[in-house]
A and B are shown apart, each in its own frame.
Chain A
Amino acid sequence: MPLVDDGSRDFWRGGADGRLLIRACAACHRLFHPPGPVCPHCYSRSVTSRAVSGRATVASYTVTHRGWVPGYEPPYVVARVVLAEQPDLHLLTNVVGCDPEAVHTGMEVEVIFEQRTDVFVPLFQPVA
């Protein structure tokens, strides 16, 4: 399970309201991930969270055929997706809701949330 802390709470719990919350700098307004207490672009300490569209593009992916993590039965897709709002903003995630072999670089995807006890894990599925 994700370790929810002060920095990551919005990311892991925003899905309760259907929102993908990403760290944003209050000074330069750029987004960054993973969430931290300082903007890596302008070094402002004034940071907040902002809801993004949840639209993204697959930048790279791998179909995992061996199980390493309990609860994850292969095959499954681990992917890097770039969020639509900012070209350098990417998440490590899973692409679900389709045949793993159908995932490809450049695929348009959108966020969905999978509730696991008290967290809402952002995952991505192909845009309908």
Chain B
Amino acid sequence: MTIDRQAVERQAIVSGIGRSATGRRLNRPALDLTLDACLAAIADAGLTPRDIDGLTSWPDQAVPFGFSGPRVSDLHSLLRLDLSWILGCGDGANVTGILGIAAHAVATGLARHVLVYRTVTESTAQGTGRRPAVMSQMPAPWRTTYGVGSPAQLAALWARHHFDRYGTTREQLAWVALNDRRNAADNPDAIFRDPMTLDDYLTTRMISNPLCLLDCDVPADGAFAFVISHADHRHDTERPVFFEAVGGGRPMTSSWEFWPDLDVMAAMKAADQLWSRTTLRPTDVDLAYLYDGFSIFVLYWLEALGFCARGESGPFIEGGTRIARDGDLPLNTSGGQLSEGRYLGFGHAYEAFLQLRNQAGPRQVTDTQIALVTGGGGPLAQAFLFTNDR
């Protein structure tokens, strides 16, 4: 494969970032949160809504239980944006994929300033009781006939495979959750900030063996928005963050339940594409934001991206030294989805941008230039490299 050392996404920057109030049971309309985040991001970019000429989001459809925010057409009409490019995204833009789609829109000249947003109200929708998993509401006879109503059960099959094939242990996997919680202590916006010990983890109730409650991310409310601009706007931006490379892909099948090889996730393909579009190598990465919808995803991402050899992600994170904020590979520094909340990759991206802008306050990691952000697990995967150094 030809290495493209000038990937088109290098012509895109993150010029503005915005975040609404976030947390548990905010009881605020999704549109209200979305407006807060979007207007904040536009102002942060030094722009006004009149400057925004591109708009995208995912999923651009009504999904039950607070999983989706307002449609792009509704937001467009409310703000009366003068758009040259609009895209309400479906499959393929899942999780953080829309960041790459927006970058390519500005890089190819279809728009100059694209507003990207992601809104969830899953916590308020959940109320005070349990709710079914979103997955259980989809017509899926191959799953529901066998009592599979949550992606936790399918993620657990990958976890069991990793445990049985490589000798990975719960004491090792625990460090995804323990590291997230350690970082959340310094993030006032995180949902769970109380200290957590290994013993706490090991004694927390099982959800779907070997995954316990603390291996599963936390339903949350909140909106995040970013302005993605053409790189020639960088001199008009106080703290530009540059796209370095994007990666994605989906091998074999789109099905979680019939994924043919539990030794891999789509992450492997996304990582290969990412590294093919840059001269950077894993050792250049200062900060890693690896998707932790379930803890086991992080182990697969670590191996896919080449931070460790296949099967060695358990020992790699065990003890939590290497992945601490003062370690070799600071990981999920905002607390991740296990402690900060499930913002479907956008919490990770927001934190990566904060860090690269040197605005992360008490959890700022010093001397950071390169951040790697991923989204998805199982059949879904995107990966991004961002830099403040160009």
Asked whether B357 is an interface residue with its Cβ less than 8 Å from the other chain, the reply is no
Are B136 and A68 in contact, CB atoms less than 8 angstroms apart?
yes
Asked whether B33 is an interface residue with its Cβ less than 8 Å from the other chain, the reply is no
Choice from A60, A63, A64 contacting B262 with Cβ under 8 Å:
A60
Q: For A80, what are the chain B residues with a Cβ–Cβ distance below 8 Å?
A: 157, 262
Q: For B25, what are the chain A residues with a Cβ–Cβ distance below 8 Å?
A: none
Contact with B along A5-23 (1 / 0, CB 8 A): 0001000000000000000
Least CB separation from A68: chain B residue: B149
Choice from A33, A72, A90 contacting B147 with Cβ under 8 Å:
A72
Least CB separation from B256: chain A residue: A92
Asked whether A85 is an interface residue with its Cβ less than 8 Å from the other chain, the reply is no
Q: Please count how many residues in chain A sit with their CB below 8 Å of the partner chain's CB atoms.
A: 29
| Residues of chain B in range 258-286 having any CB-CB distance to chain A below 8 Å | 258, 260, 262
Tell me, rounded to whole Å, the shortest Cβ–Cβ distance linking B340 to chain A.
Answer: 23
Are B149 and A88 in contact, CB atoms less than 8 angstroms apart?
no
Bound together, the chains give a CA A78 to CA B147 distance in angstroms of: 8
Q: For B157, what are the chain A residues with a Cβ–Cβ distance below 8 Å?
A: 60-62, 78-80
Asked whether A102 is an interface residue with its Cβ less than 8 Å from the other chain, the reply is no
Are B262 and A1 in contact, CB atoms less than 8 angstroms apart?
no
Are B141 and A2 in contact, CB atoms less than 8 angstroms apart?
yes
Bound together, the chains give a CA A68 to CA B137 distance in angstroms of: 11
Q: For B255, what are the chain A residues with a Cβ–Cβ distance below 8 Å?
A: 34
List 16 A-B residue pairs with CB atoms under 8 Å apart, sorted by A's residue number.
A2-B141, A2-B142, A62-B157, A62-B208, A64-B207, A64-B208, A65-B207, A68-B149, A69-B144, A71-B147, A78-B147, A80-B157, A80-B262, A92-B148, A94-B146, A121-B145
Residues of A within 8 A of B (CB): 1-3, 8, 33-34, 59-66, 68-69, 71-72, 76, 78-80, 88, 90, 92-94, 105, 121
Q: A61-B157, A80-B262 are in contact. List 15 more A-B contacts (CB 8 A).
A: A33-B258, A34-B255, A60-B161, A64-B207, A65-B205, A68-B133, A68-B136, A68-B153, A69-B144, A72-B147, A78-B208, A88-B260, A90-B260, A94-B146, A105-B164
